[in-house]
A and B are shown apart, each in its own frame.
Chain A
Amino acid sequence: MSVAAGTLATRTPSSSQDSRRRIVAEPAPVRWLIVGVALLFLTVFLVVPLVAVFYQAFSRGVWPYLGALTHPDAVAAIKLTLMVAAISVSLNLVFGLIAAWAIAKFEFRGKSVLITLIDLPFSISPVISGLVFVLLFGAQGFFGGYLQEHDVRIIFALPGIVLATVLVTFPFVARELIPLMQQQGTQEEEAAISLGASGLQTFFRVTLPNVKWALLYGVLLCNARAMGEFGAVSVVSGHIRGETNTMPLHIEILYNEYQFMASFAVASLLALLALVTLIAKVVLEKYVGAE
């Protein structure tokens, strides 16, 4: 009965458009409840933690904050993270583009298997993603003996971290491109080739420009994940301070050593990255939609 009364109360005879909107909408109390629950959830799980990170980071002022960020170990961690992200995002940009191109534009045997494999990193635990490389390249691993003989270091070094990051972030670019490329079809490519363009000309002048925003979007998500990856990197890194610690690992070490302010200071950088990614995502989605 109260619900019905609510409906009637909100039906003010303002404009016809207004009343039309009211007819399809839920009664006012229900709407407030739904919106309220959503806002509360967002506040508790997203806004409060984010504010807490920055609050803790600046709890002792700006200078200690900057001091924590310019500490040699922190600088080393930031540099390593940027390096790992740069390498793995570039690799995944190329792999993702090739995989999406192959899946969207050609018919071949085992295509569905390839699509499933691309999604695999989403469904396996990051710890496993790290562990497989330890099992392959670690001292006791499959190729461990050979690598030691030739003095090649993969595990507990940059290559291992890059490998683990590449594996974990592989799906982002490909997943972003495949649906768009499939929807665009192959007619424009056929047109380009019939006009005398070579395969490379067709790719760089037609295929790539048609997906450039989606590609940028995929790269952005891939980068955010690459910089923030903890599990897989933790397994292969060895946690050597100033050498194989990425930002997320450095944050954990500082935290475990009760250096909360310093830990949150580094964490604030990752949080900032997340915010930038979010804003860029909103902007890019407009362009991706237009594609």
Chain B
Amino acid sequence: MKIDITNVSKRFGAFAALAGVDLEIKSGELVALLGPSGSGKTTLLRIIAGLEWPDEGRVLFDGDDALARSVGERHVGFVFQHYALFRHMSVFENVAFGLRVRRPRRQRLLEPEIRARVNKLLELVQLGWLADRYPTQLSGGQRQRVALARALAIEPRVLLLDEPFGALDAKVRKELRRWLRQLHDEIHVTSVFVTHDQEEALEVADRVVVMDKGRIEQIGTPTEVYENPATAFVHEFIGESIVIPVTVDNGAVQFHGNRIDIDTQGVTCGPARLFVRPYEMSIASAESAPFQGTVKRVHGIGPARRVELALNVDGHVVEVDAPRVQDLTVGQAVGLSPTRYRLFAGEA
């Protein structure tokens, strides 16, 4: 199912949770809403579900006005961050719940059909052997899969997941997100999940929606948002960045009054920030490079070493990945030259 969100805004008192959000989710897509806490991502998810209503804007499901329908009428599968399993029901009854309360009554399945459907779902989430257990007897990962099976039982038009792996430990989280991706490839239900974990979003999602302060900063594939960040926020939020404050004057980039050989990338006069990935900053001889600095510390294992450098002029410390073969000693004066970079207007 296709979802169109147009100009959606929501305020909680004086706090603007969402400020004019536009988003189009294609049928069968797996989309991640990524952002720091307070960015409005959960509010947006709850508005799509019908658990929250926007102050203005439109939400369309396949062209139909979803805001005219209550959450129960929208046929959405919602998976809560803390699972929200029914604590007094067995795993089986939790999954069967949506089938047992279906209205009107004559649309309700017969008991054998319900049993068959629930057992099939429990097999899908690999929990058939736990059908008679109660939620308190399950591990976090198992609870989350029960919650997912329960949401899928009503054959939702869209699956919405709120921080689905947030409460799990690192190892289970990795397993479960790979499993979720596989599951999505099997059942192809349009899915939206909220996360503050960039690794999770980049690994699982078809497209990532990066949000900050109630606005969408960028929408794109994991590669796009990582390789071509649209804003300074996205560059800083996703992946590691070296950030160097500079100024643009007369069509040239200046670092503490010295003109340096960096393209303005369309930024006009005023303060700006230079963003470089740690592995796209090369350490060279001091004379020709745009920046000069001193090596403070060299550490790390693996193909690259992490080098801490203090820039001359202002002592600003940056961390650069240098190839293992490069010979660097503490106290050595070096030049820094970005091989690939982005310049964004504005101060930090």
A187-B80, A190-B80, A190-B84 known; A195+B101 contact, CB < 8 A: yes
With both chains docked as a complex, state the minimum distance between the C-beta of B149 and any C-beta of chain A, in angstroms: 12
List residues of chain B with CB within 8 A of the CB of A205.
86, 97, 101
Query: In the complex the two chains form, is B101's CB within 8 Å of A192's CB?
Result: yes
List residues of chain A with CB within 8 A of the CB of B151.
194-195
Query: In the complex the two chains form, is B78's CB within 8 Å of A191's CB?
Result: yes
A197-B72, A209-B88 known; A190+B78 contact, CB < 8 A: yes
List residues of chain A with CB within 8 A of the CB of B77.
194
In the complex, B87 has a CB within 8 A of chain A: yes
CB-based nearest B residue for A196 = B72
List residues of chain B with CB within 8 A of the CB of A192.
86, 97, 101
Majority SS of interface residues in chain A?
A: helix
In the complex, A112 has a CB within 8 A of chain B: no
Tally chain A residues at the interface, Cβ within 8 Å: 18
Q: Which of A196, A209, A212 has the most CB of B within 10 A?
A: A196
Q: Mark A165-190, 1 if CB is under 8 A from B, else 0.
A: 00000000000000000000001101
Query: In the complex the two chains form, is A194's CB within 8 Å of B78's CB?
Result: yes
In the complex, B102 has a CB within 8 A of chain A: yes
In the complex, B67 has a CB within 8 A of chain A: no
Query: In the complex the two chains form, is A198's CB within 8 Å of B101's CB?
Result: yes
List residues of chain B with CB within 8 A of the CB of A191.
78, 80, 84-86, 150
With both chains docked as a complex, state the minimum distance between the C-beta of A220 and any C-beta of chain B, in angstroms: 20
In the complex, A206 has a CB within 8 A of chain B: yes
CB-based nearest A residue for B78 = A194
Query: In the complex the two chains form, is B88's CB within 8 Å of A193's CB?
Result: no
Among B76, B87, B102, which residue has its beta carbon within 8 angstroms of that of A188? B87
Among A187, A194, A198, A210, which residue has its beta carbon within 8 angstroms of that of B76? A194
A188-B86, A188-B87 known; A194+B51 contact, CB < 8 A: yes
Query: In the complex the two chains form, is A210's CB within 8 Å of B101's CB?
Result: no
A210 to B86 CA separation, bound complex (whole angstroms) = 8
Query: In the complex the two chains form, is A195's CB within 8 Å of B154's CB?
Result: yes
B interface residues, Cβ below 8 angstroms from A: 49-51, 70-72, 75-78, 80, 82, 84-88, 97-98, 101-103, 150-151, 153-154
**7 A-B pairs with least C-beta separation:** A195-B98, A187-B84, A197-B101, A191-B84, A194-B78, A209-B88, A196-B72
